[in-house]
Amino acid sequence: MPSVSRFPEPQAVTAPLTEYAVFLVVALQDGPAATDTARTTLADVDALVRSVGFRSLHAGLTCVVGIGSDAWDRFGAPTRPAHLHPFVPIEGYRHDAPRTEGDLLFHIRASRHDMCFELERLILGRLGDAVRVVDDTPGFRYFDARDLLGFVDGTENPVGDELGEAAYIDSEPDFLGGSYVITQRYTHDLSAWSSISTEEQERIIGRTKADDVELDDAVMPTNSHVTLNTVVDEDGNELDIVRFNMAFGSYAAGEVGTYFIGYAKSPETTELMLQRMFVGDPPGNYDRILDFSTATSGCLFFVPSSATLEMLGDLPSAAVASAAPGEVTTSVPAPDLPSDGSLRVGNLRGDHDR
């Protein structure tokens, strides 16, 4: 594949895991004014990140923006990502993966919670009443990147060049450097989990708890989390996604869990993993972690490159597009978009091969 460095500049999908995160999902309100406010706000997110991030240069503040299927259509972009669609709910053998509403995702990360808080405040202030908050989950790193079940989470993430190869789109010419992301909020029954032995927990996960070593094939259960999340293509090559899961919740409030977030160059890989988890392979041989962890949300978003995200602000106003013939509006005239269907973003028409 072409070098990721020659793609349009991607968003900070592959930024290192941080101590804190905020997973903010919002729904667009009805009407062209809400659409235009959201679209222009997204185009300015990088500037907001810089304004907050400059206050602590070592905090590693980033924000990845994802756009849902319906929102992308409302923005009126001339082309559409090939694999963008609403999250497909799964009716499992015993447990289900629901689809929940969500038009925009803001995945905010930093080594300080106050930086995440401040950026979220500015983003929501800019969006105003154009959106309704659906999910606002603050995440935290739990010890050495463990989930609240006590196991290291994300061990099988690709590293080095393979990180970008798994995360960034390389086969859609209009959207090189973009990504797809699926999010799910899982709540844990820690009392039930604690009631079983460490050995049984290890068989469910497929790794040892203390030192995070994968179980030998001879003793690895066919319905372990590791087994069912290992998928291969028709040539036998393992397919990867990039996870940046975080623990969340309050033990005193009675709700704790893991916020799953998986980036990939195609959502089909993540969808196959979820299908195997909830339905089982073969059907009925489902992931036993679901007996202790309940999925309460499910969304799929497209993550455009930074340049494409900025160019959303130059698309025709939704207010202009919806105005009746002869109706006077105060919106800015639509830009002259190129006839080839691109957003006039560099490297979207073969420039990456130069």
User: What are 250-300's pLDDT values in tens digits?
Assistant: 989 889 999 999 999 999 999 999 999 999 999 999 999 999 999 999 999
Task: Bin 150: left if φ > 0, else alpha if -120 < ψ < 50, else beta.
Answer: left
pLDDT band at 7 (very low <50, low <70, confident <90, very high): low
Q: Name the CA dihedral angle for 45, 20, 244, 301, rounded to a multiple of 10 degrees.
A: -30
Asked if the model's pLDDT at residue 307 lies above 50, the reply is yes
Report the number of distinct structural domains present in the chain. Answer: 1
Report if residue 177 sits inside a domain: yes
Report if residue 350 sits inside a domain: no
- Active site residue ranges: 153
Report if residue 255 sits inside a domain: yes
pTM (predicted TM-score):
0.88
- Structural domain including 246 reads 14-343
pLDDT score, position 6: 54
Report if residue 260 sits inside a domain: yes
Distance CA 106, CA 116 (A): 11
Mean pLDDT, range 70-97, rounded to an integer: 97
Average pLDDT across the chain, whole number = 90
Distance CA 345, CA 261 (A): 27
pLDDT score, position 323: 52
CA–CA distances in Å: residue 10 to residues 72, 186, 313: 18, 28, 17
Joined tokens for residue 266: 């195609």
Report if residue 137 sits inside a domain: yes
Report if residue 7 sits inside a domain: no
Q: CB neighbours of 194 closer than 8 A, spacing ≥ 6?
A: none
Report if residue 351 sits inside a domain: no
Report if residue 263 sits inside a domain: yes
